[in-house]
Amino acid sequence: MTRRQQNTEQRPVRLSLALVRDLSIVLTLAILALYAGSGFLIPLALSFLTFVLITAVSDRVRDWVNAPVWLANLLGIVLVLAGLFAIMFVIGGQATQFARAIGNYETAFDGAVTRMAALLGPEMMGFARDTLAGVDLSRLTRGAVGGATSALNTFLLVSLYVAFLMAERRTLHHKMLLAARDPQLGQDMASVMDAISTSLQRYLGVKTIISLLTAGISYTVFRLLGLEFAETWAVLTFALNFIPSIGSIVAVIFPALVSLVQFDSVTPFLIIVFFCGTVQFLIGNFLDPAMLGRSLNMSSFMVILSLTFWTVLWGLIGAFLSVPLTVCILIVFSHIPAMRPLAILMSKDGSLTTEDEPQA
């Protein structure tokens, strides 16, 4: 074998190693930037998702009642922001009430530990006592009140961002075409944005309807049982259903544990666990996939992987944003030829929107 042939065979290997090196550097820098800039990027991401949801609502209003664009946008802003403010108001108000009643809960907590240990059996009694006896309810309450205050501040910042995004909605597409000097590049960028907007509108719309249904059923059960702070648990049920896989489980565990503290009997605990758990299972495994369809074209492994990644990076907010952010990444990758194989691996069945549907 001549030296020229050896150099020819080694060149692809060097190029591959250089590509892996460059991608690793870019990926590492991107993760560091996302972590370091979380204080700025999290409200921005929430603003973008709120903007997409408002756009979806305003478009539906315009289709249903044939309203002018300005009126449809105004109604969309009012409906979405009023709903978000109502959630913040309920959580903030009841967090304060819970802080005032914390003394009564601390007194009843020891009895709840005993009932839970007896329910689990003698083998688990020691473990339950050792685990739950060290829970500091006062600290949890302070964290809840502080979290509610932080959420309200974030809501005000998100509202400000959304107002400016809505003001520039009509000119955004035109500016994107002007920013890309190549007309074809401008069309590709607009196509990517349209695909992201369409997928997110479908996902947020379906998840909102499903979460409202789940929260409504759970709230009815909580009220019939007489569970305290039923509104808070219903709001948390609504919000936690946006977290894939584990969100529905946590939405059942929290009110079930509170029922052990509030009631002397384990019957409310069993009703919440079995009835609300069954509702979560049926909706999450049958209704949710049927309504989402192809709007969530991600593999189950990618959903769990994205949940873990964004939760480690941005905490609880990252868990809420994990699916929408990963959907955006998948769509962007599907429009870049070099990244399309990775998008195929991330997808549910290997098919991509860019291959199945004509582009605008």
pLDDT tens for each residue of 314-359 = 888 888 888 888 888 888 888 777 778 888 888 877 776 544 443 3
Pair 118, 239 in one domain:
no
Residue 360 has what pLDDT?
A: 34
Average pLDDT of the segment spanning 185-192: 76
Pair 208, 356 in one domain:
yes
CA gap 319, 340 in Å, rounded: 25
Pair 160, 213 in one domain:
no
Residue 179 lies in a domain: no
Structure confidence by residue, pLDDT tens digits, 199-232:
888 888 888 888 999 999 999 999 999 988 888 8
Pair 334, 204 in one domain:
yes
Residue 20 lies in a domain: no
Pair 205, 138 in one domain:
no
- Among 144, 147, 137, smallest CA distance to 258 is for 137
Amino acid in the structure at residue 190: A
SS (H, E, C) 67-91: CCHHHHHHHHHHHHHHHHHHHHHHH
Structure confidence by residue, pLDDT tens digits, 241-263:
888 878 888 889 888 888 877 88
Average pLDDT of the segment spanning 302-319: 88
Residue 96 has what pLDDT?
A: 62
Pair 245, 331 in one domain:
yes
Residue 184 lies in a domain: no
Residue 8 has what pLDDT?
A: 52
Residue holding tokens 């501040």?
A: 153
- Among 102, 85, 184, smallest CA distance to 142 is for 102
pLDDT-wise least confident of 67-71, 143-147, 268-272, 304-308:
143-147
Q: 286 is in which domain, residue-wise?
A: 197-360
Pair 49, 123 in one domain:
yes
Residue 217 has what pLDDT?
A: 93
Residue 53 has what pLDDT?
A: 85
Pair 207, 339 in one domain:
yes
Residue 340 has what pLDDT?
A: 82
- Among 174, 178, 243, smallest CA distance to 211 is for 243
Average pLDDT of the segment spanning 47-60: 85
Residue 114 lies in a domain: yes
For residues 88 and 238, the model is more confident at: 238
Number of domains in the chain: 2
Average pLDDT of the segment spanning 147-166: 76
For residue 14, what pLDDT band results from cuts at 50, 70 and 90? Answer: low
Residue 356 has what pLDDT?
A: 40
Tokens matching residue 177? 């075409």
Pair 163, 201 in one domain:
no
Phi, psi of 101 (to 5 degrees): -95, 10
Residue 18, classified by CB atoms within 10 Å of its CB into exposed (0-12), middle (13-18) or buried (19+), is: exposed
Residue 246 lies in a domain: yes
Contact in structure between 138 and 148 (CB atoms under 8 Å): no
Tokens matching residue 276? 């609300």
Residue 206 lies in a domain: yes
Structure confidence by residue, pLDDT tens digits, 268-288:
888 999 999 999 888 887 777
Residue 274 lies in a domain: yes
Residue 181 lies in a domain: no
Q: From residue 169, how far is each of 66, 163, 164, 166, 174 by CA, in Å? A: 19, 10, 9, 5, 10
Phi, psi of 336 (to 5 degrees): -110, 115
Which helix (DSSP H) or strand (DSSP E) does residue 349 occupy?
Answer: none
Residue 111 has what pLDDT?
A: 62
Pair 85, 153 in one domain:
yes
263 torsion bin: left (phi>0), alpha (psi -120 to 50), beta (else): beta
Instruction: Return the ∠ at Cα 129 (arms to 127 and 133), rounded to 5°.
Output: 130
Residue 145, classified by CB atoms within 10 Å of its CB into exposed (0-12), middle (13-18) or buried (19+), is: middle
Pair 247, 160 in one domain:
no
**pLDDT over 70 (residue 167):** yes
Pair 347, 202 in one domain:
yes
